[in-house]
C-alpha cells in the first residue's frame, strides 16, 4: 500500500547490499527470483539504495575513455528498434541544410571585416576562426614568404582595401603602443604624408627600448 514501509528480512537486506552495484533492472529481477517477492518494484529498490546510501559506482555520466554503447552500430531504419524516419533528421557528412546552407560561403569568397580589412576564405576546416585570412597577408606572404612570429602588417597609405604587398610593412607587435596614440602619435588619425615618419619613429623607439633592455640584462 502506498505510504506503507516495505518489510525486508535480514537475509534479503544482506543480499540487496551485497548486490547493490547491479543495474536496477537486473537488480530487481534477480531479487524477485531469489526471494519470490512480487510486491516490490524496481523503484522501491532504487529508493532503498538511496536511503541506505549504497553506492553503485555509476555517476550517470560518460567517463573519459569510455566507449559509447552504440559505437559502430549503423542506424538502419526498421532494425534494432530504430524509427524508420531516423535518417530524415541525420546530418550527412559534407551536406548542409537550413541556416547553415543559407549563410555558407565557398572557399575563395571575400568579405570586409568590421575593421575594414578584406578577408578571403581559405578552407572549410577547423578551427573556424582560421577559415578567413586577410588578403593583404595572403598577398604579402606570396611575395615575401611567411610573416615572422611577433610581426604584423601595417598599412602604409591608410587604405586597408589596398592589398598590394608594397602597401604593407611588417612591424614588430611591440611598436603598436607607438602607433595608437598611447605612447606616440596616432597613426590612424595622421595625414597620409606624415604616416611614413610615424612608422619610422615607432621603429626607432622600439629599437632603443630593445637595446636598453638587453643592456640591463647584461649588466
Domain 103-218's class? alpha beta
pLDDT per residue as tens digits for the range 77-126: 555 555 566 666 665 666 777 788 888 999 999 999 999 999 999 999 99
Q: What is the mean pLDDT of residues 57-73?
A: 69
Percent of the chain scoring above 90 in pLDDT? 50
Q: Is the pLDDT of residue 64 over 90?
A: no
Res 165: pLDDT: 96
Res 158: pLDDT: 83
Res 80: pLDDT: 52
**Per-domain residue ranges for the chain?**
10-52, 103-218
Across the chain, mean pLDDT equals 85
- Alpha carbons 175 and 187: distance in angstroms, whole number: 11
- Report the range of poorest mean pLDDT among 8-12, 96-100, 137-141: 96-100
- Alpha carbons 175 and 201: distance in angstroms, whole number: 10
Number of residues in the chain: 219
Q: What is the pTM of this model?
A: 0.54
**Where do runs of H (alpha helix) occur along the chain?**
10-18, 24-35, 42-52, 98-103, 135-144, 195-218
Amino acid at each position: 500500500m502506498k505510504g506503507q514501509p516495505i518489510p525486508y528480512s535480514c537475509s534479503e537486506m544482506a543480499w540487496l547490499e551485497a548486490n547493490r552495484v547491479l543495474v536496477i533492472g537486473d537488480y530487481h529481477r534477480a531479487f524477485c527470483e531469489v526471494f519470490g517477492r512480487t510486491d516490490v518494484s524496481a523503484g522501491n529498490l532504487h529508493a532503498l539504495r538511496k536511503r541506505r546510501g549504497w553506492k553503485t559506482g555509476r555517476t550517470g555520466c560518460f567517463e573519459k575513455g569510455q566507449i559509447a554503447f552504440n559505437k559502430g552500430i549503423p542506424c538502419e531504419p526498421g532494425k534494432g528498434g530504430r524509427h524508420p524516419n531516423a535518417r530524415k533528421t541525420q546530418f550527412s557528412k559534407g551536406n548542409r541544410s537550413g541556416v547553415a546552407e543559407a549563410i555558407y560561403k565557398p572557399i575563395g569568397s571575400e568579405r570586409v571585416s568590421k575593421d575594414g580589412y578584406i578577408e578571403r576564405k581559405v578552407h572549410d576546416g577547423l578551427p573556424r576562426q582560421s577559415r578567413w585570412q586577410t588578403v593583404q597577408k595572403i598577398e604579402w606572404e606570396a611575395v615575401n614568404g611567411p610573416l615572422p612570429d611577433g610581426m604584423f602588417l601595417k598599412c602604409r597609405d591608410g587604405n586597408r582595401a589596398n592589398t598590394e604587398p608594397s602597401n604593407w610593412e611588417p612591424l614588430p607587435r611591440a611598436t603598436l603602443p607607438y602607433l595608437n596614440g598611447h605612447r606616440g602619435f596616432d597613426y590612424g588619425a595622421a595625414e597620409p604624408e606624415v604616416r611614413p615618419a610615424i612608422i619610422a619613429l615607432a621603429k626607432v623607439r622600439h629599437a632603443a627600448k630593445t637595446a636598453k633592455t638587453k643592456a640591463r640584462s647584461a649588466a
